[in-house]
Structure 1
């Protein structure tokens, strides 16, 4: 059960953030509206929110998931893999210390983006990507072990379709995984029930289960119907302006 979440409002310079896609320039007004709807969905799922002000130093700062890994047993500040985002973990630290007085940190030369980290029960998948390197993965795995978690790595550097591991995977109820076709046959996931997302709806794989609700990006009818047939309660949210900067549902909050 999640009880809290930390979010950061998008700033007026949000459109200056990093992106690999060409989906157009985000509307700031619509970005704020979609962020507010996301916050409402978390509240309706039972979470108390800490909503931080926009940080004009970091256009990507609203994607707080990349700045820390948060478990019931503790939290660790990451070291984002894009140089322009290195200050974001330091900026989130005061808000995290209100809940976790003792914080571990990923140290150079390690890099870790939270978007590459997928928890599945007591096991954590760590994506090796353009943003998370082997040094960072080893540090994180050691820290996870001290908290009673196993860890394994999944190298996604050969997949041009996703930036982070969680761009193509979501864990629902501990054992069931949503997976894009490119990841569905990966041996790392062999022990889990797998739901393969249609290639045309790949963005929908970045879903988030928050207590008894699964948050799903609007516009993925096949996946929505499949999840409802499996018994999930869905909350579909417009995510168009975050998709323009490679962002998804999981990116916008730290949940614990």
Structure 2
């Protein structure tokens, strides 16, 4: 297996705008049908704050794919690709109507000169969504959920053969990265519910590596975006008005630049901060 590669070093962020069809009648990740009350204008403002932080504060090159009203969930761009190094695996989302979201993402990956691998329809019913995939810099954890199945995890393992891939069952309608995320090169952030503690114990049993654990009291706070800059580390996290009890935990991360980033509207649809971007490390700019 591969040695640890520097986790958190990124040069580009790929995002996709919030369409006018955001929200409305939907099935949330909790499986509840019906009208989901979201504020479109607020969601678009929050998206603008996220992209502004990535570009202006962190210094990433931002590639923005225009919103598509025919693809109301396409803003959840993390789901349609898993990227490590120079390879991008185009995934196969659970919902058939989401699979065409990959077309525009595939084009960007090609323009960035990444090696594009496909998880096609011939893969034995494989489904995989990026929000179920946690890459630690040393290995992959794949959440087996209502959106990602074991065959999808096997295709990921075949694609990234230099890294161990472990599967973790995820309860309910949630995604793996809704309950944990990277908070540093060797740190995983978890919420502290009993169910999540079971997930943590399982991950500890499956790995040969040691990770520091940062526990936050609110599940919504467990999904963050960690980026290692040339001079400082950045952590985009949910703001105090959304997760008031978790700020003290983030402040334990010494020498980090903390960037509170709102995500309340997307979270109503079961998404999280990392759902809204794909992070890539490219030494050269091709745009």
Question: How far has the Cα of 1:24 moved from its partner?
Answer: 4.6
Counterpart check, 1:34 vs 2:46: yes
Counterpart check, 1:149 vs 2:163: yes
Residue 18 of structure 1 contacts residue 60 of structure 1 at CA under 8 Å; is this kept in 2?
no
Counterpart check, 1:227 vs 2:250: yes
Residue 36 of structure 2 contacts residue 269 of structure 2 at CA under 8 Å; is this kept in 1?
no
Residue 224 of structure 2 contacts residue 235 of structure 2 at CA under 8 Å; is this kept in 1?
yes
Residue 112 of structure 1 contacts residue 132 of structure 1 at CA under 8 Å; is this kept in 2?
yes
Aligned residue for 1:193? Answer: 212
Aligned residue for 1:213? Answer: 234
Cα distance change, pair 79–125 in 1 and its aligned pair in 2 (3 A): same
- Segments of structure 1 that go 5 or more residues without pairing to the other structure are none
Q: Whose Rg is larger?
A: 2
Secondary structure at the residue paired with 1:233? strand
Secondary structure at the residue paired with 1:229? coil
Aligned residue for 2:37? Answer: 25
- Segments of structure 2 that go 5 or more residues without pairing to the other structure are 1-8, 281-287
Distance in 2, matches of 1:209 and 1:255, equals: 10
Aligned residue for 1:113? Answer: 129
Between structures 1 and 2, the one with greater helix share: 1
Distance in 2, matches of 1:208 and 1:26, equals: 23
Match of 2:107 among 83, 90, 94: 94
Distance in 2, matches of 1:114 and 1:66, equals: 4
Provide Cα deviations, 1:220-244, integer angstroms capped at 9, x if missing partner: 2332211212313211112111111
Question: How far has the Cα of 1:202 moved from its partner?
Answer: 0.7
Instruction: Give the root-mean-square deviation of aligned CA atoms.
Output: 1.8
With structure 1 as the length reference, what TM-score do the two structures score? Answer: 0.91
Residue 107 of structure 1 contacts residue 136 of structure 1 at CA under 8 Å; is this kept in 2?
no
| Aligned residues between the structures | 249
Aligned residue for 1:11? Answer: 19
